[in-house]
Structure 1
Amino acid sequence: MRGHLNRSRAGDNKARNVMISKHRSNRARSLEDKYSVNWGTVLGEGAYGEVFLAKNRQTRTEVALKKINKQYTESVLFKTETEALLKIHENGGHPNICGLRDMYENKSHYFLVFDLVPGGEMFEHLINYGAYSEADASRLMREVASALAFLHGINVVHADLKPENIMLSSSMTSDGTIKIVDFGSAVSLTDEERLQNELRKSFKARANGTTAYWSPERFEQVSDAAAPADMWGVGVVLFIMLAGVHPYDLECNATDDDIAVTMCTNPNPPISPYLDDISDSAVDLIQKLLEPDPTKRLNAADMLKHPWVTGETASRTKITNSDRKLFKYENFRAEIESGIFQAMLTPPSEMAGGTDIIKKAFDVFDAEGKGFVTSGDVSKVVKESTGKDVSMDSKSKNLSLSEFSKLAFSELKYQHYNRNDIIVTAGDLGSSMFFIRSGMVELITDSGLSVCTLKVGEFFGEECVLQVDKMRSSTVKCCTPVDLIEITQDDFERFTSSSTGGKVLLETAFCAKTLGNTKSLIRCCHNIQRFNVRAGTIIYSEQSTGDSMYLIEEGVVDMTQSGKRAFSVKAGEVFGERALLTQMPREATAICAEDCILSEIRGEDFLAVLESSPETAQALRDINRKRMFKQAASSAANRSFSLPNLQKAFDAVDANGDGYLNYEEIRQVVLKLDSTYPEDELTELMKSIDLNSDSEISFKEFEQIFKWCM
């Protein structure tokens, strides 16, 4: 009955998107438009309202919806938490922070949409399973340190770190990742306030938190919680994880006041006998985190570099048969790495702040959500990604997330950058690409134009592994603290040695990103004209001279040759740029298939902007070569170039019927369409689609290459 009444109220008093009004989101304008809410399923109750299970209507992703009565929203706690969450959201979020996805309101309530974190509190895991192994603790502490480096870099202090506020994404420690929650005690500063060490003046709040996890300086009440206070809390949590007891409540019977007295009397943590069984490196880390002097205490960025946190020394922990367990998978490392690399290239999830790259790859192998990877899982993914059958011992031990990470990522370079750091510079020679594990970066052209921002799960620099000795196309600057995985040219060659699938996916992503960057550059052009066009209107005709290009804001445009549709261009895509780039006549007629809204960019304006990004211009030429081939294949097959017709288009080009396309076959169909097409362009076209450089293209290569531009 309660669920029915709540559902009725929500329908009568429609909740609108607050984040739109604050220019923080352009998502659905009402709660019901985007989410279906199960008002009968209460996940939990807090001080200000209930939390319900909801689901994104489009992605089917489950989320947590917190419904808060507005009578409570004037409280300091609510304002403190909301301000911190919005600041985290504005800075791209972090995969190890339970992020705010959306925020709605109606006349009586706010509705906050969060990531769903089903794994429960770390505190519950400690109670149920006891102290963690060093391997698991090291991985989880690396995630905590990464989240804190991000928070402190955007001037947010959590101020209440404890096991209850560190949750796991899964109920199983073996595959759970960290999610930090509860920002009700957070301290959020502007850059100026941080420098002045003052709190915001909008509302005066002194962060409280839990005194059992306070640092010594907080008891002196000299100032509000700062970044070193969070690091002390991490030290206490790590001590509990490894020793199973609080460092200042060794008998597990002290009150918070008792803990405060003990800590203030002797803040140095007890080592023996509580930490006798753990590695010296772990003890060293705990001592550096529980340093009484906040000016000497380890910060989050340096914690990420500690050898125990990186896993270099945590591996000394004795885990039964761990080396033998991994050895059985070593013989198939190349095939496994190929599958993992392809998993990393898949688009990031809709989760606020993204999903950790390593966990995303793990979940591809553990498709059933068991919490571990079996030899059967490995065989299946390897078969799908490389086409190879691998015979693995079915008795091989299962891999936890920590062991999977060690097997798959131990040879890769992890890097941490601070806000405003420059990672790479446009024009420099590069030999590596980067995946973003956390944070947000900005891509800037050589002339200083901002092209786009990239977030968790995305990557950049791929042009430098796709081609040897390639110059960087953009300068990449950190908008927030950033954690990266670097993939060198050697790594890339190793990942793609057993299959071209990874290379094809990367080529595909690079083409799609180039088009996206082009649209950003287009918006930098002057004199853009935006106009409505009715269905059936001809934008330009085949063989006409091109002096403009177009961006489709809304609608669909058909590209036709001799009156037959070759392919269609949809909203968000560009067309007409080939004539500007090649100084050749229009290769097709562009007709609005439905009512459209177009933006027209004059050729001289577009080319002037492209001069600021030669790499983008070169990539566009490559895309246009592929488009030319699409049109030629479509003409040869006498049908549109679409997914259902790919095999027929391939067969039409395959003149000798041997199942492969060679240079001469491709040359003939292109010249039949356009007898003036330059030979050097044909050579470059062949290079761009012959991914394994064997002078022939199989149907599988053909299919993978052209799927991206359907």
Structure 2
Amino acid sequence: GAVALMHAQGLCHADIKPENILLTGEGKLKLVDFGLATKAGVKSEVRPGTWAYWPPEAWDVGWGGSLPADMWAVGAILYVVLAGCHPFDPAGNATAEEMGNAIRTGEPSFEGEEWATASHGAVQLVKGLLRKDPECRLTVEELLQHPWLKTASPTAHRPIGGAQFSRSTARLRTAVFATILQQQAEEAALPAVPSSERLSRTVSAKLKRQHSSLRGPMLESDVLVRAFHEFDREEKGYITEADLQRVLSQKLGAAKLARGDAAAILQGAASSDVDGRRVMYGSFVRLMGETVKQLLRPGEHVFKRGEPVRYFYLLLSGEVEVVDAQGAVVSTLRAGEYFGENALLERRKQRNSSLRCKSTGPCEVLKLSADDFEAGGGGGGAPPP
């Protein structure tokens, strides 16, 4: 939660290491020592942090703290927890020069008896955090969405169990989904020639898709951060009832909630807050991890005619063709458009048409479950179909 909160505001801790993680009497982990915390990307002649937990890029002169560097350190610590030794210094006696060479050119071992009982998910998570290319390293958002964290210990990060958590956060998740839908539609309406910022995001997304087997089902950090900031305009690091009311009325055009309703919507995701009234960024990411992001190959079906109605869809990238019962393409949907809501609103059991990814390239869709759609009142303020 602490790392997620910092990263959402563009800040890096810059010295994450075992000595800066404390365990309370209640069994909670606390991140401490923010003396080196800085705005991400600020260059410095003095490299911050502890060299045993520096990523490969930190060994270059002029490097400053970064968000991917924090995630490398998290990966190194997780390796230590699971294997009992440092990933690049198993014997524990490497010099700074030896450690630097190992980090830049070597690969950690996942062999031996210490890894014999580790699950495939745990190994893949550590590998994702220890990727040498910072652009391909898992983000804190992807860490929180990783299946191993969601299934290995369901109550470790959720005071309530998985199914109950999903039900209790459905209305807020639907409102966030509608916010992402609005933002994607607004971005799709921008001029065809992307700005430098949009171009940077496009390049970054392509790099990330090289590892789609791990990252494919995860929402990218920029999508989550932009949605969170729509609620948290003041950059407090959390969402309040007033924030929710503002987004629902001003952004999504919904009627003002009755007294107590806003608190009820936030309650399920606010369990990590001392007062139980604010949704922290880490909890925000976890609740959106209950949605499903799917990467489709060219020609692959989103759904086929006659299949059960299970989701409401938002097209994040690519193009999708709508195919009628005779096999004819009747329309094409593009990034930023949504579909599948009519069957849910009409409470149909089966789809009456087929949708497939266009043959010109892959597609990404974000799926909101029918249960969430229903809990959100048929879209939670999303634009009408």
Structure number with larger C-alpha Rg: 1
Report which structure shows greater RCO (CA 8 Å, sep ≥6): 2
- Name whichever structure is richer in strand by fraction: 1
